[in-house]
């Protein structure tokens, strides 16, 4: 008997098309896995069981009548809880959005629905996507399915664990500073952060608008790329959406890196990183070299400046974006207040968690008069320099290969003690957001302790083609243990 939960999304789509399995059977298989293991791993904030089962029957009819025929028709999907879903609780894992039911859906939700995909539920995350461990959630921490004493990474932790533990075949996350790539690396799944402007941000509850991008997470490169093709579109509701010539990225799934120029930044592979991580990535690079890629080490430069520049810019944007949460229109409102302003302040102070407050305060400070030039403008200038460094690199190389994170997943509770250390763990992912580049994490093996390690492939803006080719060629070199099927009761 086939185990639906272990299949890839494309395999599921194929089997539904061939009438080997029904859409309802598929949805039920994932719901039953969620019921079995989610109390241990905590991937989901909301599971939309009844609606998913209802939709399964509707989609089945449409597939049978030929109305929908895409490769992911009938495939269930988990959605990060900062993506608006009409009629379905959307919390950003924050108390301040307690009970909030969006009156509209994000464009990516419209796109997955058009493709016949079925939302299983909303996944746990760091509050407002601020964090790298999924421990700042108001709904409790998510755990790494490979070892429940470790974090899954973040902020799209729940989206990555849902795929890694067989609770969903694919999922959507969002990436502002590494929030798809880093947890993908920690959970042994494939996650893509597309070029800024490729996927509509309409309906994504904003954190740092100039950096945010929604992206797909899957068990393998093919699944992630197929889902990327579904969610990408030009959208007039997002003023930063860019019309691309082609949204079919699956044609780059070719096993050919002959002559591909790969740059490996020497200044990324420092002594601070885990030896095991370094070794696994070097051996993955070697595998690509053996397939005909031309590999060269180089100095990217400016590496230590990306994180401080990011925290100024992201916090500044967050302080502005999060002003709307004031207890008037939706969500939580504090109980005791004297007047309008005390209501705003009390609501926000009680509704936001400490990491969110920390960033709102930093952002308000760097934008305030007297400090704006010294901090905010300075960071924007440094961002310009970092972009120049990447432009220079991409004049020579087709892709850059880097780690997704300097270590494997840390133990639960370790990172929150020292936020500065947590910030530093994003060193390899943050520049990609500052420069609007596409980047993805691909599993390259596990540590001796059994925790997954991811390799990051970065390409120039709009050049998903070379990034996907490199990822697919690597994946084709060997079979990777795709999914950690939890049985439940492991905790």
Closer Cβ to other proteins, 22 or 240, answer by number: 240
Structure tokens at 259: 């002559």
According to CB under 8 A, which one of 436, 438, 439, 445 is a site residue for other proteins? 436
Closer Cβ to other proteins, 210 or 477, answer by number: 210
Stretch that binds other proteins, among 56-64, 77-85, 307-315, 396-404 (CB under 8 A): 307-315
Q: Which of 190, 220, 158, 144 is nearest to 449 (CA)?
A: 144
- Measuring CA to CA, how many Å separate 19 from each of 2, 12, 16, 26, 63? 14, 10, 5, 12, 10
Q: Does 417 bind other proteins (CB under 8 A)?
A: no
Sign of CA dihedral 97, 86, 436, 221: positive
According to CB under 8 A, which one of 330, 397, 428, 480 is a site residue for other proteins? 330
Contact letters for other proteins, residues 173-202 (x by CB under 8 A): -----------------------xx-----
Q: Does 22 bind other proteins (CB under 8 A)?
A: no
The DSSP-derived string for 361-395 is HHHHHHHSTTTIIIIIIHHHHHHHHHHHHHHHHHH
Q: Does 95 bind other proteins (CB under 8 A)?
A: no
Q: Please give the residues from 344 up to 383 whose contact with other proteins meets the rule CB under 8 A.
A: 344-346, 348-349, 352, 357-358, 360-366, 368, 375, 377-383
Closer Cβ to other proteins, 149 or 270, answer by number: 270
Q: Does 245 bind other proteins (CB under 8 A)?
A: no
The DSSP-derived string for 392-450 is HHHHH-SEEEEESSSSSPPBTTTTTT-HHHHHHTTTTTHHHHHTT--EEEEEEEE-TTS
Q: Does 270 bind other proteins (CB under 8 A)?
A: no
According to CB under 8 A, which one of 240, 250, 476, 477 is a site residue for other proteins? 240
Stretch that binds other proteins, among 12-20, 100-108, 146-154, 391-399 (CB under 8 A): 100-108
- Measuring CA to CA, how many Å separate 57 from each of 2, 49, 67, 105, 432? 21, 13, 14, 21, 41
Residue 314 contacts residue 207 (beta carbons within 8 Å) = yes
Q: Does 70 bind other proteins (CB under 8 A)?
A: no
Q: Which of 367, 385, 386, 387 is nearest to 377 (CA)?
A: 367
DSSP letter at 192 equals E
Stretch that binds other proteins, among 25-33, 60-68, 305-313, 472-480 (CB under 8 A): 305-313
In the complex, least distance from residue 312 CB atom to other proteins, rounded to whole angstroms:
6
Residue 168 contacts residue 77 (beta carbons within 8 Å) = yes
- Catalytic amino acids? 80, 155, 179
Closer Cβ to other proteins, 188 or 436, answer by number: 436
Q: Which of 160, 169, 173 is nearest to 199 (CA)?
A: 173
Question: By the criterion CB under 8 A, which residues form the site for other proteins?
Answer: 99-101, 103-104, 196-197, 210, 236, 239-240, 242, 302, 304-305, 307-309, 311-312, 319, 323, 326-333, 337-346, 348-349, 352, 357-358, 360-366, 368, 375, 377-385, 387, 419-420, 434-436, 461
């Amino acid at each position: 008997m086939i185990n639906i939960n272990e299949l890839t999304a494309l395999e599921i789509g194929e089997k539904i098309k061939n009438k080997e399995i029904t859409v309802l059977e598929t949805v039920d298989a994932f719901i039953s896995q969620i019921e079995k293991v989610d109390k241990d791993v905590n991937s989901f904030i909301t599971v939309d069981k009844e609606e998913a089962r209802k939709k399964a029957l509707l989609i089945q009819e449409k597939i049978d009548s030929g109305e929908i025929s895409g490769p992911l028709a009938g495939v269930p999907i988990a959605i990060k809880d900062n993506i608006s879903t009409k009629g379905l609780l959307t919390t950003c894992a924050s108390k301040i959005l307690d009970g909030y039911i969006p009156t509209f859906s994000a464009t990516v939700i419209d796109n997955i629905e058009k493709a016949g995909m079925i939302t299983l539920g909303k996944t746990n995350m760091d509050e407002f996507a601020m964090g790298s461990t999924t421990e700042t959630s108001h709904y409790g921490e998510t755990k790494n399915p490979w070892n429940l004493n470790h974090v899954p990474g973040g902020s799209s932790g729940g989206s990555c664990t849902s795929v890694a533990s067989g609770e969903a075949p694919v999922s959507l996350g969002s990436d502002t500073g590494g929030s798809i790539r880093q947890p993908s690396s920690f959970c042994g799944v494939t996650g893509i952060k597309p070029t800024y402007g490729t996927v509509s941000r309409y309906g994504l509850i904003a954190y740092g608008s100039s950096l945010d991008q929604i992206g797909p997470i899957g068990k393998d490169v093919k699944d992630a790329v197929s889902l990327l093709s579904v969610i990408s579109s030009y959208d007039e509701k997002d003023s930063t959406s860019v019309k691309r010539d082609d949204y079919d990225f699956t044609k780059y799934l070719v096993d050919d890196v002959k002559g591909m120029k790969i740059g490996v930044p020497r200044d990324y592979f420092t002594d601070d990183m885990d030896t095991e991580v370094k070794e696994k990535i070097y051996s993955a690079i070697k595998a690509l070299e053996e397939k005909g890629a031309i590999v060269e080490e180089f100095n990217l430069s400016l590496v230590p400046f990306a994180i401080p520049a990011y925290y100024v810019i992201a916090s500044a944007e967050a302080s502005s974006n999060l002003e709307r949460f004031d207890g008037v229109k939706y969500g939580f409102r504090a109980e005791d207040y004297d007047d309008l302003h005390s209501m705003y302040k009390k609501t926000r102070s009680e509704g936001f968690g400490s990491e969110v407050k920390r960033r709102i305060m930093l952002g308000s400070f760097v934008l305030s008069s007297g400090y704006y030039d010294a901090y905010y403008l300075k960071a924007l200038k440094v961002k310009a320099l970092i972009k120049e460094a990447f432009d220079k690199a991409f004049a020579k190389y087709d892709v850059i290969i880097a780690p997704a994170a300097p270590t494997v997943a840390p133990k639960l509770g370790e990172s929150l003690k020292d936020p500065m250390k947590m910030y530093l763990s994003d060193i390899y992912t943050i520049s990609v957001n500052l420069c609007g580049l596409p980047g993805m994490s691909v599993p390259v093996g596990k540590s001796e302790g059994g925790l997954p390690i991811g390799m990051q492939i970065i390409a120039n803006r709009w050049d998903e083609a070379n990034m996907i080719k490199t990822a697919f060629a690597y994946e084709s070199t060997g079979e990777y243990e795709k999914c950690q099927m939890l049985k439940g009761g492991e905790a």
